[in-house]
Amino acid sequence: MNYLSPSILAADFSRLGEQLRAIDEAGAEYVHIDVMDGAFVPSISFGMPLIQSIRPCSGRIFDVHLMVEEPIRYIQEFADCGADMITVHAEACVHLDRTVETIREKGIRPAVALNPATSLSVLEYILPSLDMVLLMTVNPGFGGQKFIPYSFEKIRELRHIIEERGLNTDIEVDGGVTLSNVEEILKAGANVIVSGSAVFQGDISENVRRFRELMK
Ligand code: DX5
Ligand code: ZN
């Protein structure tokens, strides 16, 4: 199954509730929520109070992407404010296994994200413990960047590893995804698609419908 996860980083925060309803009604299955701490990535976005206040606006899966140093410090708080899935960066966790286990213990689906230049080899032992791997296809920190072309090979390699090991881990792709490259990304083996600017610029409902059409 393929899933669309619009990133609200590109939304109009003054109309967030309304825009969440628009993506929901147009059929996006997930809501991608980018939390940035100004340390792991250069920028600061938003945190728990925002997630808590938008939780009643959507029944969709809250896919929380933590671009935060040592996210283990905040797992309980993100669980409390309504996360369904929590993604942590391998590069940001000294104790990645403990962090993933902590997420799982809270009844939340754990995922690990890798920056573009991080090797898939860091997943070797942790992969069976994950529901999803997020491959960053831009350097994290900002929306609206260009997809890094070598990522296609990385997606294909990860899909190959997952199949070879008989797992059913989802592969989420995040950064620079548009209506023009989404089919190639799916073909490479991704099945969860994050998109910020390509969803929230212009007619949101129409953008979601177009993505879903290409993702069938
Ligand atoms: C980048 C974030 C992305 C971002 C994607 O650090 O993790 O989720 O919002 O935005 P677009 O789709 O505009 O590249
Ligand atoms: Zn993200």
Residue range 98-136, pLDDT digits in tens: 999 999 999 999 999 999 999 999 999 999 999 999 999
Residue 167 structure tokens: 């797992």
| 34, 87, 172, 201, best to mutate for ligand 1 pocket (most atoms within 8 Å of CB) | 34
- The SS3 assignment for 86 reads strand
ipTM, interface predicted TM-score of the complex: 0.98
Digit-coded pLDDT (tens) for 33-71: 999 999 999 999 999 999 999 999 999 999 999 999 999
100 by DSSP, 3-state: which?
Answer: helix
Rounded mean pLDDT of the chain? 98
Catalytic residue among 37, 63, 170, 174: 174
Percent of the chain with pLDDT over 90: 100
Residue keyed to tokens 């669309």? 4
Q: Is 177 in the pocket of ligand 1 (CB under 6 A)?
A: yes
Rounded to the nearest angstrom, the gap between the alpha carbon of residue 3 and the centroid of all alpha carbons in its chain is 11
**CA–CA separation, 125 and 159 (whole Å):** 16
| Residues linked to residue 44 through DSSP beta bridges, in sequence order | 37
Is any atom of ligand 1 closer than 6 Å to the C-beta of 6? no
- Domains in the chain (CATH in brackets) are 3-215 (3.20.20.70)
Interacting residues of 166 by C-beta distance below 8 A, sequence separation 6+: none
Catalytic residue at 34?
yes
To the question of pTM greater than 0.95 for the whole model, the response is: yes
Which residue is catalytic, options 34, 37, 63, 170?
34
Residue 128's alpha-carbon distances to 43, 100, 161, in angstroms, are 32, 11, 11
Residue 178 Cα: closest atom of ligand 1: 12
Q: Using one digit for the tens of pLDDT, what is the confidence trace for 63-106?
A: 999 999 999 999 999 999 999 999 999 999 999 999 999 999 99
